[in-house]
Amino acid sequence: MKNIVVLGGGISGYGSAVLAKKKGHKVFLSDAGRVAERYARVLDEWGVEWEQGGHTMERILAADLVIKSPGIPEKADVVKRLREQSTPIISEMEFASKYMGKARTICITGSNGKTTTTSLIYKIMRDAGVNVALGGNIGESFAYQVATAEYDWYVLELSSFQLDGMYDFRADVGVLMNITPDHLDRYDYSFQNYVDSKMRIVQNQHSRNYFVYSADDDVIAAEIEKRADLRMRQLPFAAKAAVASGAGDGFLSGGEFTARVGDKEVTIDTQKMQIKGLHNAYNAMAAALATMAAGVEPENVERSIYEFSPVEHRLEPAGEKDGVLWINDSKATNVDSVWYALESMTRPTVWIAGGTDKGNDYEPLKGFAREKVKALICMGVDNDKLVREFTGVVPTVVSTSSLDEAMRAAKAEATEGDVVLLSPACASFDLFKNYEQRGQLFKEWVKQNL
């Protein structure tokens, strides 16, 4: 029996505490903020000791093992003090994987496209009759599911913060969508530190595992070239230049892509997909390769891809009135996500952006902004950088400091045949609790005011 402390009482923390309790460990959960009522109730039901509103440091520092929620940064005082005394700190993913038995995993990471790809992979697996669970950054807590049910496969969306706390964990199928600058404030503003974090998706993989990755991503290509020791079966996908692999690959050409794993092959007409744009072709290619690697038959893959509808808050149509289409892309919290959003726009665009800037370089967006954006509505507490970067790039730049003000400004700028796109390129924490709340309020405003 170990003395385990769980830091953070959100979805990751409460699940870890329940699993630790079930496995007979002594468990204490500590949250500097408030623990949501639904999690508190479960902790009480399982007899887990917990606190909120601060940390009892002597109990935390006495831990044999600490399971840290991904939202807690390394610079937090409690983490620094644990590091100073060399207390092992791991993530929920690392902890839960030790107890999942013979179950296997498909793990998806990347700066963009993770949620759509993860959701699509889960749908394909579930539709094919696989006993599968969804967890990680979306769905239920991975640890809670390991504690309370038995599955053959887990489909896990992994952020860089979750990967940072994983050491012995091995993905049976690892999926890396792309690597572009994001969360650099958590990585000492070093892009290479962030790259190293994302590449942990391949750690411990052996010759029976699969690695699905974008061959069009120069950063990933450079990392693979540096790593001569990679032993897993590689499944690259691309739209620019095909990269052949003996294990299989995916390639998009002329509106169709073909994905092949071993002797299995599926061809998808992207025009028939409900999710549109180049980024979603990448997402579908990755999902097809990952699920065929997990043993799903091509005809099942094909059917599920065509049936799949957009993920909430990711290029999600929110309504249309007077010839103006409103699109909720609140999940686009970095520049690369917005690049794909603007790339997919086919109508004159009123673009709503802004929030907590994470050290963004807006230069990659300026080409599409000149070509497609008729007005930029800045929505944030501090809009100076956005205003400075896009004045002279788009015809109209308007600074606002609330959702309602931004929406009214967008409505005033939009005319018949336009699209209003909420695609912030920033985190939501200046005005909103999270990107979900920002997207939900956007949709509610559209519903009530059009």
Structural domain boundaries in the chain: 3-90, 94-307, 316-449
Question: Could you tell me if 98 and 120 are in contact, meaning their C-beta atoms sit under 8 angstroms apart?
Answer: no
Q: How many CB atoms lie within 10 A of CB 285?
A: 29
Across residues 141-169, what is the average pLDDT? 94
Beta strands in 8-86 (DSSP E): 26-31, 49-52, 65-68
Mean pLDDT of the chain: 92
pLDDT at 396 over 90: yes
Reported as a pLDDT band with limits 50, 70 and 90, residue 316 is confident
pLDDT in tens, 102-138: 999 999 999 878 888 999 999 999 999 999 999 988 8
Q: Which string of DSSP letters, residue by residue, matches 240-272? A: SS----SSEEEEEETTEEEEEETTEEEEEEGGG
Cα–Cα distance, 330 to 388 (Å, whole number)? 22
Pairing of the two strands 26-31 and 3-7: parallel
User: What confidence score (pLDDT) does residue 127 get?
Assistant: 96
Q: Cα dihedral sign for 207, 211, 215, 221?
A: negative
| pLDDT tens-digit readout, 20-65 | 999 999 999 999 988 888 899 999 999 999 999 999 999 999 999 9
Distance CA 178, CA 215 (A): 9
Query: Residues 6 or more apart from 324 whose CB is under 8 A from it?
Result: 411, 414, 415, 416, 417, 418, 419, 420
* Position 275 confidence tier, pLDDT thresholds 50, 70, 90: confident
- CATH placement of domain 94-307: 3.40.1190.10
- Can you name the residues that pair with 398 across neighbouring β-strands? 377
Task: Label residue 269 by pLDDT band (50, 70, 90).
Answer: very high
Q: Which amino acid is at 27?
A: V
Q: Where are the beta strands (DSSP E) in 311-353?
A: 316-321, 324-328, 349-353
Count the neighbouring beta carbons within 10 Å of the beta carbon of residue 255: 11
CA-CA distances (angstroms) from residue 302 to 242, 305, 310? Answer: 21, 5, 16
pLDDT > 90? residue 91:
yes
- What proportion of the chain, given as a percentage, has pLDDT over 90? 69
Number of helices and strands (H, E) in the chain? Answer: 17, 20
Question: Region 255-265: what's the mean pLDDT?
Answer: 96
Tell me the residue type at 335: V
Q: What is the pLDDT of residue 183?
A: 64
DSSP strand E in 307-348: where? 316-321, 324-328
Pairing of strands 256-261, 248-253: antiparallel
Q: What is the pLDDT of residues 320-356, one digit of tens each?
A: 888 898 999 999 888 878 987 898 787 899 999 998 8
Cα three-residue angle 65-171-249, rounded to 5 degrees:
160
The topology (CATH level 3) of 316-449 is Protein-Tyrosine Phosphatase; Chain A (3.90.190)
Residue 1: strand, helix, or coil: coil
The Cβ of residue 225 has, within 10 Å, a number of other Cβ atoms equal to 8
Q: Are strands 210-214 and 173-176 parallel, antiparallel or unpaired?
A: parallel
Q: What is the reported pTM?
A: 0.75
Confidence of residue 182 (pLDDT cuts 50, 70, 90): low
The CATH number assigned to the domain with range 3-90 reads 3.40.50.720
